[in-house]
Amino acid sequence: MASESQLRDFGRQICSVAAGKYLSRAEACEAYRQIILNQQPELQQGAFLMAHIARGPSTEELSGAWDALDRYDTAKIQAKIDGPICDIVGTGSDPVKTVNCSTPAALIAAACDLPMAKKGARLVTGVSGASDILENLGIDLNAPLSKTEQCLQDHGICYLPGEAFLKSGWARLIRYMRFTSAFNIIGPLTRPCEGNDRIVIGAYSPNVCDQLVAVLGEIGMTAALSPFGMVEGMEKTEGMDEFSLSGPTRVVQLKDGQIETYEVTPADFGLQAVPVSAIASSGTAHENARRILSVLTETYDTPEADFFCMNAGAALFISDRAASYAQGTEMARTALAEGKALEKLKALQNIQGS
């Protein structure tokens, strides 16, 4: 437990952040180290996290928070794989809630022979997180990381639940938090897989996409896409943390050390736009998992299937496996229809299953 002087120092920092002062990367790292290692009372931890997200963290502060999470709380796996290893993940907390997309998209991208080290967690603000979905599909969230490493090595796919590789601090916090914090931003940035150098990382707002990619550049990611998907007819601030099948998507791209921002539409993926109701989340994790399994097993020509394939296609594109979003999506649709994505799920179940 912190001493009286440490309590007062941290309290002053809370007030300073709430008043609008920005921290250096080292100061942010130290503050988040104390939170992650539970060295401050929970009241002070919560006050800092809320003050920080309410004021809006800077890129330097997020980099410092990431340093603390990576240094003090992230277990690592390794796999002897030549070429890129990719991840698809979202921050959650997005205004438009869709059926879980990153999990089936990762399976489909892996079915196109792109190694996928998919990470995720239980729900924070939505109906179901990746861990809730995969648990419904028979994955053991408590399986040892050695099994995760084996699955990636042997089958080019694995699932890394935050509950397994971020045990001491992040998992304790996220278990009870039902509000957005900097952990929603830096959690998806964690790199528990050595060699993971490509990522598609959706965000709950356009400015967070900018911050995510800026931090990814700071921590040495080779290439990244950060989409904020919009819905035709809705405000541009109302959207989803993935590529949208219901309107344009604002994309921040990191490649070859350069960052650029642009918009794409479903037509750029060779797809027709659909009403957002066609891809909206169901009411429970079980029902969302059932819809995903239906796509993987038989319903290949549905809005959900197109939604999953366009996001898988983006992973293929940023990993240099496809020359365009449209080519990546077509590769994904073919692999899905041939049952290869279902084979990847079965591999996950066999090695990481309960």
Q: Could you report the per-residue pLDDT of 149-158, keeping only the tens digit for each?
A: 999 999 999 9
State how far the Cα of 3 lies from the Cα of 94, in Å rounded to an integer. Answer: 39
Mean pLDDT, residues 278-283 taken together: 95
CB 190 within 8 A of CB 307: no
CB 132 within 8 A of CB 122: yes
Please tell me the predicted confidence (pLDDT) of residue 314: 98
325, 251 Cβ separation under 8 angstroms: no
As a whole-number percent, the residues of the chain with pLDDT over 90 amount to 85
Q: Which of 167, 257, 149 is nearest to 213 (CA)?
A: 257
- Per-residue tokens: 325: 């979003």
Rounded to whole angstroms, the Cα distance separating 265 from 244 reads: 8
pLDDT of residue 125: 59
pLDDT at res. 231: 97
The label of the residue with tokens 């009870």 reads 176
d(CA 174, CA 152): 26
Task: Please say if the pLDDT value at position 121 is more than 90.
Answer: no
**Looking at residues 262-272, what average pLDDT do you find?**
98
What per-residue confidence (pLDDT) applies to 351?
Answer: 98
Residue 213 has pLDDT above 80, yes or no: yes
Output the pLDDT for position 273: 98
d(C-alpha 222, C-alpha 246), whole Å: 29
Q: Measure the CA–CA gap between 333 and 301, rounded to whole angstroms.
A: 9
pTM exceeds 0.85 for this model: yes
- DSSP designation for 23: P
So what's the pLDDT on residue 176?
78
3-state secondary structure at position 251: strand
4-73 against 85-352: fold identical: no
Distance (Å, whole) CA 195 – CA 284: 34
Rg, Å, the chain Cα set: 19
Check pLDDT > 70 for residue 159: yes
Give the Cβ contact number of residue 347 at 10 Å: 19
25-36 vs 4-18: helix crossing angle, rounded to 10: 120
- Range 200-220 average pLDDT: 93
User: For 73-101, what is each residue's pLDDT tens digit?
Assistant: 999 999 889 999 999 999 888 899 999 99
Give me the residue label for tokens 């949208």: 244
E strands, the chain, in order = 85-90, 116-120, 157-161, 196-202, 223-230, 239-240, 249-255, 258-264
Q: What is the mean pLDDT of residues 31-53?
A: 95
Q: Which residue has the tokens 């490493």?
A: 149
CATH fold label, 4-73: 1.20.970
Average pLDDT over residues 283-307: 96
The predicted pLDDT at position 124 comes to 62
Per-domain residue ranges of the chain: 4-73, 85-352
Instruction: Give the residue, 30 or 186, on which the prediction is more confident.
Output: 30
pLDDT at 247: 98
Output the average pLDDT for the chain.
94
Nearest-angstrom CA–CA distance, 25 and 14? 16
pLDDT at 184: 80
Q: Which residue has the tokens 């079980």?
A: 286
Residue 177, pLDDT score: 81
Q: Which of 116-125, 171-180, 266-275 has the highest mean pLDDT?
A: 266-275
State the fold for domain 85-352.
Pyrimidine Nucleoside Phosphorylase; Chain A, domain 2 (3.40.1030)
Of the CA atoms within 13 Å of residue 126, those in its CB half-sphere come to 30
The mean per-residue pLDDT over the stretch 251-278 comes to 97
Q: What average pLDDT does the segment 275-286 reach?
A: 96
- Work out the number of other CB atoms within 10 angstroms of the CB of residue 253: 18
Per-residue pLDDT, averaged over 312-322, amounts to 98
Rounded to an integer, the average pLDDT of 174-200 is 88
103: number of Cβ within 10 Å: 28
Q: How far apart are CA 193 and CA 178, in angstroms?
A: 27
Q: Which among 74, 56, 71, 64 has a CA at the least distance from the CA of 31?
A: 64
